[in-house]
Amino acid sequence: MKIRWLGWAGVEIEEHGERLLIDPLQNPGAMLSWMGEAAARIPLPEVTAPESGAVAGLLTHLHRDHADAGALAASLAPGTTVYQPDGYGGDGVEQLGIVQADHELTAAGLTRRQVSPWTTRTIGPFTVTALPAVDGTGDPQVSWLIEAHGKRVLHLGDTMFHGWWWRFRERFGAPELVLAPINGARISFPHRTPASPLPAAMDPEQAALAAELLGADRLLPIHYGGYALPGLYEPVPDALERLNATTDRLTAVHVGATVDV
pLDDT, one tens digit per residue, over 29-47 is: 888 888 887 778 888 999 9
CA distance linking residue 205 with residue 207, whole number of Å: 5
pLDDT of res. 41? 84
Is pLDDT above 90 for 64?
A: yes
The CATH number covering residue 168 comes to 3.60.15.10
Quote the number of domains for the chain.
1
Calculate the average pLDDT of the chain.
Answer: 96
Task: Tell me what the mean pLDDT of segment 5-24 comes to.
Answer: 98
Task: Give the Cα-Cα-Cα angle 156, 98, 38 (nearest 5 degrees).
Answer: 100
pLDDT of res. 88? 93
Grade residue 116 by pLDDT with cuts at 50, 70 and 90: very high
| Helical ranges in the chain per DSSP H | 69-75, 99-107, 165-172, 204-214, 239-244
Task: Tell me what the mean pLDDT of segment 196-208 comes to.
Answer: 97
Task: Tell me what the mean pLDDT of segment 182-204 comes to.
Answer: 96
Taking only the tens place, the pLDDT of each residue in 231-243 is: 999 999 999 999 9
Taking only the tens place, the pLDDT of each residue in 152-165 is: 999 999 999 999 99
The neighbouring-strand residues paired with 113 are 83
At 18 the three-state DSSP class reads: strand
Taking only the tens place, the pLDDT of each residue in 66-110 is: 999 999 999 999 999 999 999 999 988 899 999 999 999 999 999
Cis peptide before 181 (omega within 30 of 0): no
pLDDT of res. 37? 79
Q: 59: exposed, middle or buried (C-beta count within 10 Å: 0-12, 13-18, 19+)?
A: buried
In the chain, the percentage of residues whose pLDDT exceeds 90 is 92
Is pLDDT above 80 for 216?
A: yes
Task: Tell me what the mean pLDDT of segment 129-146 comes to.
Answer: 97
The dihedral sign for the CA sequence 183, 188, 189, 194: positive
Is pLDDT above 80 for 208?
A: yes
Grade residue 175 by pLDDT with cuts at 50, 70 and 90: very high
Q: What is the pTM of this model?
A: 0.97
pLDDT of res. 36? 83
pLDDT of res. 170? 98
* Domain range for 31: 2-260
Task: Tell me what the mean pLDDT of segment 109-122 comes to.
Answer: 98
pLDDT of res. 75? 97
- Selection from 229, 180, 232, 231 nearest residue 201 by Cα: 180
DSSP string, 65-100: TT--HHHHHHHEEEEEEEEEEPP----GGGGGGGHH
Task: Tell me what the mean pLDDT of segment 11-19 comes to.
Answer: 97
212 contacts: CB under 8 Å, gap ≥ 6: 247, 249
pLDDT of res. 189? 92
